Structure 1
Amino acid sequence: MTQHEDARKSKYQRIADDLKADIQAGKHAPGARLPGENELMAKYGVARMTVRHALSVLQSEGLVKARKGAGVFVSPFAVTGADRLSRLERTGRAYAQGESSADHVAIRRSCGDADIAEQLGIELFDEIVVRRRTFRQDGKPSVVALSCIHLRAAAVVPEVLQQGQLIPFWQSTYTERTGKKITRGPERRSARLASSDELAALEIHVPPHAAVPVLVLHTAFYDPDGPIEVWEDVYAPGLWQVASE
């Protein structure tokens, strides 16, 4: 690759990276129209071909779709819990544009999921705290989110059993009270069939016993004493999943 080609690539890649970061941060919500070619040309001081190349990169990743005569629009997607947490840390905003959450429930119960128990470092059927909510994008359910929390966290932050939306984020409160920093492990992606409860929360209406595959993300969190929380995010079918890492 020549020096000129390398410089040109760095320009379109920078535009693509900036737009992708804005999408992940919620600046451009699903269905929103991206800035037009002329606006991007002026902002970055580049030729039209460079802008189009950058947009083609996003299209190849499924992040945007071009509509003839109308522009380029952000594809339907659901942001990961890790991205949501990163946005909260950077900006203090819990939600992206057009995003909300509902049906916040907290319960103390035994853990019958062997995978969750293993990730939390507990015995199967030991008690945990489960917090559940449904994220919505422009009014439509997009993610059923579970937070499976080790009981030792509840001993320090009993608010995790509080019904309704929990503000501030309980991990911040835990760190303030104990001085122990909580770190996040890598996301794990898998697929399975949705449960009837998940189908109801996602407002998916299908015949009884119909098989509906869904994308599932697990994210584990740790303090110096070991695992303390596992997130399980179940995505509505048809949504792209966007991750920052």
Structure 2
Amino acid sequence: MPTQATDIAAHYRRAITDGDLRPGDRMPTVRETAERFGVATATVSRAYAMLKAEGLTAPRARVGTVVADRPRVVVTGAERLERLNRTGKTTSEGETTSDHWAGLRSCADPEICRLLGVEPHAEIVIRRRVFRKDGRPTAVALSLIDMRALADVPELLTEGKLEPFWQHTYTERTGRTITRSPELYGARLASSDELRALEIDVPEGAAVPVLVLRNVHHDDDGPIEVWEDVQAPGTWKEASA
């Protein structure tokens, strides 16, 4: 099938998301991209128009088209996993993690219990970290994991980054592949712990709404992990093209 404008836009969208193209970097000219993909310049122009409309690129005098500075756009858990599988990178350019914690807790959230398929107040593994972009907190990320995974990956209780990614270790040791359900979106008020982690200073008792993204992961025996990302106020999630 011939390369379409949407294919070219998707290529550069991934490059920007993965950090291969950083804010301020010059985009290839229309002619350069046309030669690279073997398409007409009109096709590239349509692709570039898509990227500009999404706010991913912007014109700059005497330079041309550059990658736009967009620090408040959400990178979701699903997108991080896709990037990890494509590139091996756990974070994008300028992104770091901090405040890592791991432990066992009783699951008191009825919705998490339902998604994991466990009884209320059953013990689960929790891994917590804060994602930062250029030093600023952008999300509190939780991995809520069924206890059965602990038998094969006891490293889950180790604080700090797990390298390789624990799901890859689980698959290597058990032969079971983990798959992901469609991402779930919602909103609620941030807890006091989340406000502290996101370094948001508001009066005690203030209501601060936050965007919450969840991904449910399964193996052959059912749900095994729920990812929950609580995004800092003021961030946006782009709709998929």
**Bin of the TM-score, shorter chain as denominator length:** 0.7 to 0.9
Is the aligned partner of 1:156 residue 2:149?
no
- Identity fraction in percent: 50
User: 2:16 is matched with which residue?
Assistant: 23
Give the superposition deviation at 1:214.
1.1
User: 2:187 is matched with which residue?
Assistant: 191
Is the aligned partner of 1:42 residue 2:32?
yes
Matched residue SS, 2:91: coil
Going from structure 1 to structure 2, the CA distance change for 1:86 and 1:137 (only over 3 Å counts) comes to: same
Tell me if structure 1 keeps the 8 A contact 2:30–2:44: yes
Match of 2:96 among 97, 100, 110: 100
TM-score by length of 1: 0.85
Going from structure 1 to structure 2, the CA distance change for 1:147 and 1:158 (only over 3 Å counts) comes to: same
Take 1:117 and 1:137, find their aligned partners in 2: how far apart are those partners? 31
Going from structure 1 to structure 2, the CA distance change for 1:210 and 1:67 (only over 3 Å counts) comes to: farther
TM-score by length of 2: 0.86
Is the aligned partner of 1:64 residue 2:60?
no
Tell me if structure 1 keeps the 8 A contact 2:18–2:93: no
Match of 2:107 among 111, 128, 134: 111
Going from structure 1 to structure 2, the CA distance change for 1:129 and 1:112 (only over 3 Å counts) comes to: same
Provide, for residues 71-115 of structure 1, a one-character-per-residue CA deviation record: whole Å limited to 9, x for no partner. 541422221111111111122111111111111100101001111
Take 2:240 and 2:91, find their aligned partners in 1: how far apart are those partners? 16
Take 1:90 and 1:65, find their aligned partners in 2: how far apart are those partners? 23
Give the superposition deviation at 1:18.
2.2
Alignment of 1:100-179 (within 5 A): 100-179=96-175
Matched residue SS, 1:95: coil
Tell me if structure 2 keeps the 8 A contact 1:219–1:230: yes
Take 1:44 and 1:240, find their aligned partners in 2: how far apart are those partners? 31
Q: How many residues align?
A: 232
Take 2:7 and 2:170, find their aligned partners in 1: how far apart are those partners? 38
Give the superposition deviation at 1:64.
2.4
Superposed CA RMSD = 2.3
Tell me if structure 2 keeps the 8 A contact 1:79–1:243: no
